[in-house]
């Protein structure tokens, strides 16, 4: 597989482990899980045993202590086989674990991170609400202090893995209706599903990523211990935005995995399928499509590797990760659509994998910020840099 910078020995080894795992433990079941909307909980345990749920966590918290590029290379391999498994891995590694690592107290880190790294508690991220999607700062879930608890009321929407999570990072308002403070009135809480008043709501019946449960979460006078506030009161929105800078790189890796799978499927099919007396790969119309697909996948991967390397150097990657997610997700959508065109009618039915890849690709242009939100982030950074 082509890469901008040669991968190190360690990175190639982690990539090989991810590829072997995906082929042996996921590939044989992916179609069935997609059809049945089945979330395979044993995968969480197996990924935990591999260390893949603590990829970015230091060894003192039972993590692998890897850098961003190595993590994304592994994530792309998983996504090439099953994008539903990839999003579970991406959200867990990029968002809740990183938020606790970065802003948690020593006690919070010791309590939550090791079981999360081992796959005993899957992590989720609850920012969006039914009426607060792109405009995340308009969220309305309210947290009110009562003694040594916060009482949370509200509904979160579109929570990936939310029905199977042991730890959920919830953004809620801690300002009061009489004194609204916009984004500065939002705080982050570490929530566990055993808290009284926690309910899993509607499970979405999705076009793609059908093996990844997406649910709403309802908090009905849910009492969260004050010790579960993350970092500073009023900083939750900033934490969420900073974490999404990482999360968006994970979604870029997922999108590139989907696009890579579509490219491989299409080039294989073009070599087998004969029309007008020869394999269709011998027609320039097909060659040009495959060439464009390969070029875009390579460019998306190069951008992602460059962004990850910048992150590993300690640079702020708000703009870079938005660019990477924007380009990778649009690449995934375009490449899977072209793959279906190469398959013709066979691409439109469930007997071949490209229709699932096409359905899975779409959401990468939507979640963790739509393509339009990525453009807002990129454009704003142009001015903040000048
Ligand atoms: N890093 C650090 N700080 C940041 C930041 C970043 N990346 N982005 C914003 N901020 C700060 C700003 O500097 C500002 O701070 P001050 O108060 O000190 O000025 C504050 O946050 C508010 O920022 P904005 O004024 O830019 O806020 P906004 O209301 O205009 O929103 C937005 C900006 C980019 C549109 C943002 O709302 C956004 O990203 N929306 C999309 C939300 C999103 O991605 N949701 C996905 C949810 S997760 C998911 O998809 C489900 C899943 O499980 C996969």
Q: Which of 77, 129, 365, 368 is catalytic?
A: 368
Instruction: Find the 237 Cα to ligand 1 centroid distance in Å.
Output: 7
Task: Give the Cα separation of 227 and 108 in Å (integer).
Answer: 8
Instruction: Find the 241 Cα to ligand 1 centroid distance in Å.
Output: 4
- Best residue for ligand 1 mutational test, from 103, 122, 136, 371 (most atoms within 8 Å of Cβ): 136
On the question of pLDDT at 2 being above 90, the answer is no
pLDDT tens for residues 234-253? 999 999 999 999 999 999 99
Atom of ligand 1 lying closest to residue 125 CA: 53
On the question of pLDDT at 215 being above 80, the answer is yes
Ligand 1 atom 39: the closest Cα is on which residue? 369
Mean of all residue pLDDT scores within the chain:
97
Task: Give the Cα separation of 231 and 242 in Å (integer).
Answer: 13
pLDDT tens for residues 356-370? 999 999 999 999 999
Task: Give the Cα separation of 122 and 167 in Å (integer).
Answer: 6
Instruction: Find the 206 Cα to ligand 1 centroid distance in Å.
Output: 25
Ligand 1 atom 3: the closest Cα is on which residue? 238
On the question of pLDDT at 4 being above 80, the answer is no
Phi, psi of 110 (to 5 degrees): -65, -35
Ligand 1 atom 47: the closest Cα is on which residue? 368
pLDDT tens for residues 174-202? 999 899 999 999 999 999 999 999 999 99
Show the 3-state SS of the chain: CCCCCCCCHHHHHHHHHHHHHHHHHHHHHHHHHHHHCCCCHHHHHHHHHHCCCCCCCCHHHCCCCCCHHHHHHHHHHHHHHCHHHHHHHHHHHHCHHHHHHHHCCHHHHHHHHHHHHCCCCCEEEECCECCECCCHHHCCCEEEEECCEEEEEEEEEEEECCCCCCEEEEEEECCECCECCHHHHEEEEEECCCCCCEEEEEECCCCCCCCCCEEEEEEEEEEEEHHHEECCCCCHHHHHHHHHHHHHHHHHHHHHHHHHHHHHHHHHHHHHCEECCEEHHHCHHHHHHHHHHHHHHHHHHHHHHHHHHHHHCCCCCHHHHHHHHHHHHHHHHHHHHHHHHHHHHHHHCCCCCHHHHHHHHHHHHCCCCCHHHHHHHHHHHHHHHC
Task: Give the Cα separation of 327 and 253 in Å (integer).
Answer: 11
On the question of pLDDT at 3 being above 60, the answer is no
On the question of pLDDT at 53 being above 90, the answer is yes
Question: Which residues sit opposite 151 in a β-bridge?
Answer: 144, 223
Ligand 1 atom 9: the closest Cα is on which residue? 241
pLDDT tens for residues 152-174? 999 999 999 999 999 999 999 99
Task: Give the Cα separation of 177 and 191 in Å (integer).
Answer: 23
Ligand 1 binding site (Cβ under 6 Å of any ligand atom): 91, 125, 127-128, 134, 136-137, 158-160, 183-184, 237-238, 241-242, 244-245, 318, 367-369, 373, 376-377
Which comes out higher in pLDDT, residue 2 or 79?
Answer: 79
Atom of ligand 1 lying closest to residue 137 CA: 29
Name every residue whose Cβ is closer than 8 Å to that of residue 157 and which is 6 or more positions away in sequence.
128, 129, 130, 133, 216
Q: What confidence score (pLDDT) does residue 6 get?
A: 86
Ligand 1 atom 1: the closest Cα is on which residue? 242
Q: Catalytic residue at 368?
A: yes
Instruction: Find the 381 Cα to ligand 1 centroid distance in Å.
Output: 12
Instruction: Find the 76 Cα to ligand 1 centroid distance in Å.
Output: 25
Contact 170, 141 (CB under 8 A): yes
- What percent of the chain is modeled with pLDDT above 90? 97
Instruction: Find the 136 Cα to ligand 1 centroid distance in Å.
Output: 7
- What percent of the chain is modeled with pLDDT above 70? 98
Q: Which among 167, 175, 181, 179 is positioned nearest to 141, based on CA atoms?
A: 175
Atom of ligand 1 lying closest to residue 161 CA: 53
Which comes out higher in pLDDT, residue 2 or 128?
Answer: 128
Q: For tokens 């997609």, name the residue.
A: 34
pLDDT tens for residues 290-314? 999 999 999 999 999 999 999 999 9
Ligand 1 atom 13: the closest Cα is on which residue? 238
User: Using 50, 70 and 90 to split pLDDT, how confident is the model at 386?
Assistant: low
């Amino acid at each position: 597989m082509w890469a901008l910078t040669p991968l190190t020995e360690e990175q190639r080894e982690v990539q090989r482990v991810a590829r072997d795992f995906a082929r042996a433990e996921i590939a044989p079941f992916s179609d069935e899980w997609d059809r049945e909307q089945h979330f395979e909980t044993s995968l969480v345990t197996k990924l935990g045993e591999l260390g893949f749920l603590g990829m970015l966590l230091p060894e003192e918290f039972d993590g692998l202590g890897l850098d961003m590029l190595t993590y994304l290379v592994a994530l792309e391999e998983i996504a090439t086989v099953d994008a539903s498994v990839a999003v579970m891995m991406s959200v867990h590694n990029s968002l809740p674990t990183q938020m606790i690592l970065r802003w948690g107290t020593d006690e919070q880190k010791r309590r939550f991170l090791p079981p999360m790294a081992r796959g005993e508690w899957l992590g989720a991220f609850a920012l969006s609400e039914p009426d607060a999607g792109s405009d995340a700062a308009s969220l309305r879930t309210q947290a009110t202090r009562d003694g040594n608890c916060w009482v949370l009321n509200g509904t979160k929407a579109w929570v990936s893995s939310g029905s199977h999570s042991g730890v959920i990072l919830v953004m809620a308002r801690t300002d009061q209706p009489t004194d609204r403070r916009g984004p500065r009135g939002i705080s982050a809480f570490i929530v566990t599903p055993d808290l009284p008043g926690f309910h899993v709501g509607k499970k979405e019946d999705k076009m793609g990523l059908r093996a990844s449960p997406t649910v709403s979460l309802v908090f009905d006078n849910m009492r969260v211990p004050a010790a579960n506030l993350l970092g500073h009161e009023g900083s939750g929105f900033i934490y969420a935005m900073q974490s999404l800078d990482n999360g968006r790189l994970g979604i870029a890796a997922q999108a590139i995995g989907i696009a890579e799978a579509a490219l491989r499927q299409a080039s294989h099919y073009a070599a087998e399928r004969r029309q007008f007396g020869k394999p269709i790969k011998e027609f320039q119309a097909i060659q040009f499509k495959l060439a464009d697909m390969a070029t875009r996948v390579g460019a998306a991967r190069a951008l992602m590797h460059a962004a990850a390397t910048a992150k590993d150097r300690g640079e702020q990657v708000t703009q870079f990760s938005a660019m990477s997610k924007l380009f990778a997700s649009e690449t995934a959508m375009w490449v899977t659509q072209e793959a279906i065109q190469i398959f013709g009618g066979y691409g439109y039915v469930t007997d071949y994998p490209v229709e699932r890849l096409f359905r899975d690709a779409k959401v990468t242009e939507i979640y963790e910020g739509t393509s339009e939100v990525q453009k807002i982030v990129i454009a704003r950074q142009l001015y903040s840099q000048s």
